[in-house]
Amino acid sequence: MTEERGRTAILNGHEFWYLDSGDGPAVLFIHGLTGSHRNWAHLVDTLNTDHRVLVPDLFGHGASAKPMGDYSLGAHAATLRDLLDRLGIDRVTLVGHSFGGGIAMQFCYLFPERVERLVLVSSGGLGRSVSPLLRSATLPGAEWVLPVIASGWVRGRAEAVGRILARVGWRASSDVTQAWHGFTSLADADSRRAFLATTRSVIDPGGQTVNAHDHLPMTIEIPTLIVWGTRDRMIPAWHATRAHQAIAGSRVELFEGAGHYPHLDDPDRFAEVLGDFMAG
């Protein structure tokens, strides 16, 4: 269904894919590393009855181009600003997950007059801690290792193991499912190059390198909702507490038992919490 509503714009000379559905106040969803619009697709039909829902594939991800160039938070934020300009949208509610949360905060810092509300979901940029898996992508030689582990042979063996486990009743969590989708998205060289450039723009072998507490929107008066899963193994849930303390008037919703994708682990609750926040 979502592909039928998909559109492509030429931004900075490259194709940028986005979903545009519904009418009303605009809400822009920003996915995380190796993600795509599919991370939010289940919310479109819930929200587009009274909102204009925008769900892009960031450059380097999904159906958008994967050019050589800048994959920093600022570059992504500027691209999203360009998209809003193209669509004639002045103000928007930003919903950012993981790396997308960092982009959303950078957008607030650069273009605060364009932001109606901010929603951070398991967001990056709120502390040094991050999964060793992502830190390993910043090590020297990762560009040589990735083609091997993302090869068709390895993917095929992993899928065979998954089928065997499924027969004995194992069900993959949202974290495992999304990690697998991200892993399979790195099959081509352009995607791997974009992934490494994006990861290394915000992470080093010791953890996250961009800290919102230093210069992002902590002093900007934008209504902010912070959503986190209590069992997030990618970015620990105590980052939500730090963000709540730093962002005046912010609201926190902890999803008990959810992992790094609380909007997928409990989509009905997430849609309700988000709808209530935007209505308020």
Rounded distance between C-alpha atoms, residue 204 and residue 131, angstroms: 11
The verdict on whether 36 is a catalytic residue reads no
Cα–Cα nearest to 229, from 206, 198, 199, 261: 261
Residue by residue, DSSP assigns 18-78 as EEEE--SSEEEEE--TT--GGGTHHHHHHHTTTSEEEEEPPTTSTTS---SS--SHHHHHH
Q: Which of 98, 122, 174, 185 is labelled catalytic?
A: 98
Contact 267, 160 (CB under 8 A): no
* Options 20, 57, 175, 232, the catalytic residue: 232
Our answer to whether residue 98 is catalytic in this structure is yes
Beta strand 6-11 with 14-21 is: antiparallel
Cα angle 125, 130, 136; round to 5 = 120
Strand boundaries in the chain, DSSP class E: 6-11, 14-21, 26-30, 52-56, 92-97, 115-121, 203-204, 207-208, 224-229, 251-255
**Spatial CB neighbours of 169, under 8 Å, sequence gap ≥ 6:** none
Output Rg (C-alpha) for the chain, integer angstroms: 18
Catalytic residue, chosen from 201, 260, 265, 266, is: 260
Tell which residue, 232, 276, 37, 255, has the closest CA to residue 126. Answer: 232
- The C-alpha atoms of residue 80 and residue 84 are separated, in whole angstroms, by 6
**Active site includes 64?**
no
Give catalytic residues, as residue numbers.
98, 232, 260
